[in-house]
Chain A
Amino acid sequence: MDCKEISSLLYDYTRGETGMKISETIKDHLGACPECAAELNKIMELKGIFRASLAEVPVNSIVKIREHMKKPAIFRLFFKPVFAAAAVLLITGTLLINSAVSYARSSELDSFLSDSYKVVDHSDCYDVITAAYSGDIEQDIY
């Protein structure tokens, strides 16, 4: 393997991701090649930066989690987005159905009432009464 190939495998080598045979080849090469050894050094410096930068977890973080876990399981269920969304949908759906049913009922009631109080045309009756008073109708009756 030449320097270019070795260099491309150096990070994998530090992570133990190269096989045993390749690792041996790299190790031998590094012993004889200062350029590749310098490349490995750069990678190790980077890794050092990652290690040194690890931040501590804020102390109070666990408090919120503990408080959440104290709540009864059924209550915690509503903290799950899927269940929360399902609950919102269920409530919205129930309200919509209720309002649709009550609208249907009220329109049913409206039509019933309007049928019951329909304005009747009494002009025919008026003619019959007038005829009765005038005596024209008597003949028809008997």
Chain B
Amino acid sequence: MDPKLEVIYRENSRYVYNVALGILRNKDEAEDVMQNVFIKLFDSFRAFRGEANIKTYLYRMTVNKSIDYIRFQSLHSKKNEEIEIPEAAKNTDSAKATLDSLLENLKDDLKIPVLLSEIGGFSYKEIASILRINLGTVKSRINRGITRLKELAAKEA
């Protein structure tokens, strides 16, 4: 594989995977989404100009593919297999368990901008571009999402 593509994969795969995982809360599906997104990107790599363009595309595809998965599942009434947290790992891995339970109770329209901000590390302007929504909407959704997460975290504590 082209070394350039290897670098793109190495630099972005963890974040792409975690954004998909945050939306889907299923490891296999998140991996599937990530692989498909990278394959699609690498197949049409020559059409891209600049790294910003590639990142926007990667995350837009990740969000769209993850939403497609959710739609497909709700169409087929298949229950989401949640991330398995082994009983023994729950104490040592409490952050993952906490985040999973918090995200479970957050609506997708609030969850996705928060994930792109916290995991993807994107600015509000970049999130607006990835999700094709305006900047004001991004700000308002992120603030509503964070407020809701704080409420949920307080309940859990």
Contact = CB atoms under 8 A, between A and B. Distances in A.
Interface of A: 8, 11-12, 15-17, 42-43, 45-50, 52-58, 61-62, 64-66, 68-70, 76, 79-80
B: contact size bracket: 35 or more
B54 interface: no
A123 B8 CA distance: 91
Binding site secondary structure of chain A: helix
B18 A62 contact: no
B17 interface: yes
A69 B1 contact: yes
B35 interface: yes
A65 B35 contact: yes
Contact of B43 (A12, A46, A56, A79): A79
A55 B119 CA distance: 11
B46 to A, nearest CB: 11
**Which of A50, A52, A62 has the most CB atoms of chain B within a 10 A radius of its CB?**
A50
Given A17-B123, A61-B34, A68 B39 contact: yes
